Amino acid sequence: MPEAFHNLINGKWVDALSRETLESVNPADTSDIIGTVPASGREDIDRAVEAARAALPGWRSTPAPKRGEIIFRAAEKLLKHKNELGRLVTREMGKILSEGLGDVQEAIDMAYYMAAEGRRLTGETVPSELFAKDCKSVRTPVGVFGLITPWNFPAAIPAWKIFPCLIAGNTAVFKPSSSTPVAATRLVEMIHDAGLLPGVLNLVHGTGDGAGEALASHPGIDGLSFTGSTAIGERLLKTCASTGKEISCEMGGKNPIIVMDDARIDLAVEGALWGAFGTSGQRCTAASRLIVHEKVHDRFLAMFLNAARSLKVGNGLDKATQMGPVINEAQMRKVLGYIETGRKEGAQLALGGQSMREGALAKGFFIEPTVFIGVDEEMRIAQEEIFGPVVSVLKAKNLEDAIAMANNVKYGLSSSIYTQDVNNSAIAERDLDAGIVYINAPTIGAEIQLPFGGVKKSGLGRKEAGGRGGSLDMFTRWKVIYRDFSGRLQKAQIDTD
Ligand code: NAP
């Protein structure tokens, strides 16, 4: 019997009222059932939202430094259990172990960072135009948040939402992806056990159109923070707009790496390999288009294909593995469908293109590292998010041409340029239409102390993560306070002589 995991509602681990469950399966070996979780519905969400609402007055009036102490203890717990949780992330999501551990490290980093925010959460004091009056702005909590996350970062993305949400004094109902529910459960368990009062953080498992839809449309939440596909994000945007709720959506990407003729080709090859095939291409920031200057195109391609050909594909728990499976059967079918589309569109398949069903890979969802060349920028494989180990190589005449191609998609999340020329890098930095620009580094590798998010169809609303413009702006509202201590009526903007 697989281990049964539960929802956390009002501090208690409970089943769905329906008693129905969902299974979590290892994508590298489908005979490995990791556990079952409740298949929750609207009534379970009702209970969780009720608990979060009841816990709100106590939590928002807990001084922020005290909230920070609890989050600090959560960080310590995560650090202590990093290895265990990292292995679980790999087993449940499929990414290789070093990435599974990196996923947890990102959650730890965010916890320490937000714990310290408990002693900052800065506002502003500014001079008044009137004598004996002071003016300040302070951050206040928004209320109860719904948090909905995808499967590709089972620890990091929930942590990016939970810690800023809680430090700001909000309470939360968290619905993780039904593809990676067990890692989410362990994460929540550690955070809750660090000393949260019942109801401050609630976990409700279930499918997107079941528990997810019920949470997003629930009248008892004040805001929704969503990360996932553009299709679902746009749908939730409408739901929230019609009920007047705050929403932030971090969504898909079609991220380019530009390789200029003055680039260090060895560095660009290494970066493109990591950008395209890290996490089996299942990162919102994955590099799925390589836009290469025509003068170095053939040299770059020869080196890139050589490197991609030698990638070792397998179970992420095996230390030698460099690329794991895709998340599930549906995703495998979707990726193979795009490979077929690329062929039909006339792109040339230079490497890979098949699922891998031999030997130890027979029970998993493995796809060969796949490279298309001779790709036209208007082809679907160059326009749509594939979210798998498939990369398109495009040829550019010059920098201007490369940047125009890079921007010619509906997405705008991450982007990168390899160049040794300072002017090229400055122009790219200015003209690439994306939320994130890397110079001489691939499109992946964001750090938590900076805001994270995209433009166009990649992001809507406030950004995630830290720094000015980061998620504290999502999870707080500004309140402005004027205090007049003159003892008489003073009128701003009114001439009195
Ligand atoms: P998804 O299908 O949009 O699902 C994301 C989350 O929404 C899951 O928890 C899902 O539940 C839930 N959901 C699905 N339908 C829903 C509905 N009708 N109402 C409410 N919730 C619903 O995305 P995914 O396949 O998990 O993740 C891959 C996508 O996420 C890619 O497009 C990727 O680019 C994007 N992503 C973006 C970022 C970023 O920061 N920009 C980061 C990571 C991933 P179920 O899992 O149960 O279906």
pLDDT tens-digit map of 210-238: 999 999 999 999 999 999 999 999 999 99
Predicted local confidence at residue 410, as pLDDT: 98
Mean pLDDT confidence for 377-406: 98
Q: Which of 92, 99, 284, 464 is catalytic?
A: 284
Interval between CA 212 and ligand 1 midpoint (Å): 10
Tell me, what's the pLDDT at 467? 80
How confident is the model at residue 124, as a pLDDT? Answer: 95
Cα first-last separation, the chain? 85
Mean pLDDT over residues 282-300, rounded?
98
Percent helix, percent strand, percent coil in the chain, to nearest 5: 40, 25, 40
Neighbours of 480 (CB within 10 A): 11
Q: Which atom of ligand 1 is nearest to the CA of 385?
A: 32
Q: How much is the average pLDDT of 162-174?
A: 98
What confidence score (pLDDT) does residue 5 get?
98
Task: Give the pLDDT of residue 14.
Answer: 98
Distance 359 CA to ligand 1 centre (A): 32
Relative to the CA of 216, which ligand 1 atom is closest? 20
Catalytic residue chosen out of the listed positions 99, 250, 368, 385: 250
Q: What is the pLDDT of residue 495?
A: 79
Active site residue 249: no
Residue 291 has pLDDT above 90, yes or no: yes
Mean pLDDT of all residues belonging to the chain: 97
Residue 323 has pLDDT above 80, yes or no: yes
Residue at 218: amino acid letter: H
Looking at residue 331, its pLDDT comes to 98
Residue 231, H or E segment: helix 230-243
Q: What is the mean pLDDT of residues 50-55?
A: 98
pLDDT at 58 over 80: yes
Q: Nearest residue CA, atom 26 of ligand 1? A: 150
Instruction: Please report the sign of the dihedral spanned by the C-alpha atoms of residue 60, residue 452, residue 411, residue 177.
Output: negative
Q: Is 250 a catalytic residue?
A: yes
Domains, in order of start, for the chain? 7-251+458-481 (3.40.605.10), 255-439 (3.40.309.10)
Q: What tens digit of pLDDT does each residue of 169-193 get?
A: 999 999 999 999 999 999 999 999 9
The residue-averaged pLDDT of 52-65 equals 98
Q: To test the ligand 1 pocket, which listed residue (20, 207, 227, 335) has its Cβ within 8 A of the most ligand atoms?
A: 227
Q: Which residues line ligand 1 (CB under 6 A)?
A: 148-152, 157, 175, 177-179, 207-209, 212-213, 216, 227-229, 232, 235-236, 250-253, 284, 385, 387, 413, 454, 458
Ligand 1 centre to CA of 402 (Å) is: 30
User: How far is residue 370's CA from residue 368's CA, in Å, rounded to a whole number?
Assistant: 6
Closest by CA position to 227, among listed 219, 217, 216, 243: 216
Q: Which atom of ligand 1 approaches the CA of 179 most closely?
A: 46
Label residue 106 by pLDDT band (50, 70, 90).
very high
Choose which residue among 232, 365, 447 to substitute to test ligand 1 binding: the one with the highest number of ligand atoms within 8 A of its C-beta.
Answer: 232
Per residue in 410-453, pLDDT (tens digit) is 999 999 999 999 999 999 999 999 999 999 999 999 999 999 99
328, pLDDT greater than 80: yes
Q: What is the pLDDT of residue 469?
A: 84
Using pLDDT thresholds of 50, 70 and 90, give the confidence band for residue 1.
confident
11-20, 190-199, 210-219, 463-472, range with the lowest pLDDT: 463-472
| Confidence (pLDDT) at 383 | 98
The pLDDT assigned to 496 comes to 72
Give, for ligand 1, the residue of 239, 284, 455 to mutate: max count of ligand atoms closer than 8 Å to Cβ: 284
From the CA of 148, give the closest atom in ligand 1. Answer: 9
Q: What is the mean pLDDT of residues 142-158?
A: 98
Mean pLDDT of 361-376: 98
- CA of 108 from ligand 1 middle (Å) equals 22
